[in-house]
Chains A and B, each alone.
Chain A
Amino acid sequence: MIAISGLKKRFALTREHKKKKSQTDPRERDGFFHSVEEVNLHCGEGEVLGLLGPNGAGKTTTLRMLSTALTPDDGTILVDGQDIVKKPVVARKAIGFLSGSTGLYGRLTAKENVEYFARLHGLKGKALKARCDALFQRLEMETFLDKRAEHLSTGMKQKTNIARAVVHNPKVVVLDEPTTGLDIMTTQTVISFIRDLKSAGTPVIFSTHHLDEVALLCDRVSVIDKGITCFDGSLAEFKTKGQSHELNQAFLNLLTGAAHV
């Protein structure tokens, strides 16, 4: 279970940025860029939550805070009832993170890449081997395990990345635009991976721009616009509040509605 409430994060503006003084973005004020101003969301056991929002809305910053790479200025993030802002190490053990831009160590083989992260997560000996072997089999990675990551195709790389992200059996999985730039085959790998997690009861939060994926996978939807959550609810509520059965239209209606408020 993941519960985020009142999340805030701002970044100091660079000197060049301040000099320009172009107040086009209302989030730029008092020497800071307020990337995330008020984010609240909830994702229960076995639920998949789609995090939507235009580019620059604050999705990646939110997910980075959730994955403990960034520390929030304010707000709470609860994973299984534990406040991970206060206990980041607990969170790192409980969260599996994958983004579209995550890379692999090119000079290590696919197997070495996954095993390295398994060891960093404290797995050793037989337990490590058993866990890795099970993952390799499930993701059908056996054919390219001993190839260096730099020589793998995009699909193989993404499979390796998935294995790396879940090698420590995380309680929740966070995916930041995991299908951006991928071909149909590889996208399908990611989709079936999310389905697997869902059937295993693992909560998944993923940000995306592809609403067909949302329709396919998500139980819940959360929309962030200009750093503020403007919707958080079930898929059905999303359609109702967005006044359309087409997800794209519902999304646009929600955003324009938020702008009018």
Chain B
Amino acid sequence: MFEVFLKELRELLRDRKTLFFVIALPMLVFPVIMALVGFMASQAAMEAKQEVHTYYIVNESFAEKFSEQVFYHKSFKKYNGELALDSVEALSDAVRNGVIDVGIFIPADPAKNLESGIKSEWKIVFNDAQSINFIYDRLSKLAMSFSDELRALKLAALGLSQEQQAAVLQPISITKVDTADKRENLGEKLGVFIPYMLIPLVLMGASYPAIDLGAGEKERGTLETLLLTPISRTELVLGKFLTVLSSSIFCALITVSSMALWIGIASRFVELDVIKTAFSSVAMMDFVLIFALLLPVAVMLSSLTLAISIYARTFKEAQNYMGPLSMGIFIPIVMSLMPNMELTAKTALIPITNVALAIKEIIKGTVDYSYVALIFGASTVLAAGLLVCCVKWFNKETVLFR
């Protein structure tokens, strides 16, 4: 069995395709892609921030102070063309034709309106179909501060002091006192993300070598010769299984460590305090526990992918089966993300969902160790069952010589 394992491992390490998927992809390609996406997103945001928009205010004289603030704002430039606009429709047309970027329609003098107890309604006309857009935020902020000023003046005229004004405007204010510590709170958010990334990686690390070791062996015509050696088929399967398992664990390990490394490097340039504080309270023991929980998942997925691969006639057929499997793996993980899903004696028995829930609890620091033991037991039983199937299939003529 060990002989088979060593040989498979040697062959695997010489396969550039598998090495690429198991090592290069998570270590280099993914971080580079993520960094590129992050860089491009921040570039786009920065460009949007720095963009200067041409504006037009209808009835500027009704709100002189506001108009002045917009005029001196670094992101806005007053329209200096010859067009005279006087309605929302005219502003819309101008925006559509690219004459201006934004139009503000002030229908009446807000101070006078307030005197007569009427609320003023302004309109900001612009194209909102852009994902990064600061126009509305900036203008509404300016308009609101103008509105606040008008309100304060009116309330002062009514004889209310500043403190009274605050109390009248908001008689009750609410402050949240959270009993959950920072770790628990962040763990709830980050903890769901980690199994989402780790479990598919374990599958990916298993499926590439599994295809090669099962269906690949049939396609190359080496399976028959292997079956004619005096070592038992159980040993053959176990040797192959150990290779797949090593690869899947290695893939998860290397991804996590490369991620830690890249986050470490990135945190020197960018502020990533949120992640740092969340993980600083996660003890080494917790990391060990997470990996211990991933082990039965790896065993389960390794035996499953190997069984599929042994069943398949060709490389291509095996790949066809792996496709839906890699989609399907997300179902139990997404189940763990559903609201009110908690680690209980029942959910601890649902494969993969249980591990995803437990990882979240571990990161939150609220894990119940008896459930962890239950998960470990349940997953091991399932993994062993799948492995028995694997061995049985490897003994079946109808599967081997399909």
Contacts and interface: CB of A to CB of B under 8 A. Distances in A.
Nearest to A107: B14
A106 B227 contact: no
Interface in A92-108: 92-93, 95, 97, 99, 101-108
A71 B397 contact: yes
A102 B222 contact: yes
A107 B11 CA distance: 6
B230 to A, nearest CB: 5
Nearest to A99: B224
Contacts of A121: 229-230
B224 A107 contact: no
Contact of A102 (B14, B225, B397): B225
Nearest to A94: B230
A69 B221 CA distance: 13
A117 B230 contact: no
Contacts of B7: 105, 108, 112, 116
B401 interface: yes
Interface residues of A, number: 32
Contacts of A70: 397, 401
B397 to A, nearest CB: 6
Given A93-B230, A122-B230, A102 B221 contact: yes
Interface centre among B11, B14, B230, B397 (most CB of A within 10 A): B230
A119 B230 CA distance: 10
A117 B398 contact: no
A82 to B, nearest CB: 14
Nearest to B235: A120
Nearest to A61: B401
Given A70-B401, A71-B397, A116-B3, A101 B230 contact: no
Contacts of A164: 225
Interface residues of B, number: 23
A151 B231 CA distance: 29
A226 to B, nearest CB: 20
A71 B395 CA distance: 11
A157 B14 CA distance: 19
A92 B10 contact: no
B14 A117 contact: no
A48 B231 CA distance: 28
B222 A104 contact: yes
Nearest to A116: B7
A67 B221 CA distance: 15
Interface in A43-101: 64, 67-71, 89, 92-93, 95, 97, 99, 101
Interface in A149-207: 164-165
A152 to B, nearest CB: 14
B228 A69 contact: yes
Interface string B164-175: 000000000000
Contacts of B398: 11-12
A108 B228 contact: no
B231 A105 contact: no
Interface string A115-147: 011011110000000000000000000000000
Nearest to B7: A116
Contacts of B15: 107
Contacts of B189: none
Interface centre among B14, B15, B225, B400 (most CB of A within 10 A): B225
B224 A102 contact: yes
A92 B230 contact: yes
A120 B229 contact: yes
Contact of A108 (B4, B10, B229, B230): B10
A181 B227 CA distance: 24
Contacts of B11: 105, 107-108
Contacts of B221: 99, 101-103
A101 B7 CA distance: 22
B3 A89 contact: no
Given A105-B222, A107-B14, A92 B397 contact: no
Interface of B: 3-4, 7, 10-11, 14-15, 220-222, 224-232, 397-398, 400-401
22 contacts: A12-B398, A64-B224, A67-B224, A69-B224, A69-B227, A69-B228, A69-B401, A70-B401, A71-B397, A92-B228, A97-B225, A99-B221, A103-B221, A105-B7, A105-B220, A112-B7, A116-B3, A117-B225, A120-B3, A121-B229, A164-B225, A165-B225
Given A71-B397, A108-B14, A121-B229, 13 more contacts: A70-B397, A92-B230, A102-B222, A103-B221, A105-B7, A106-B220, A107-B15, A119-B3, A120-B3, A120-B226, A120-B230, A120-B231, A122-B230
Lowest 4 CB-CB distances: which A-B pairs, in order?
A103-B221, A103-B220, A120-B229, A107-B14
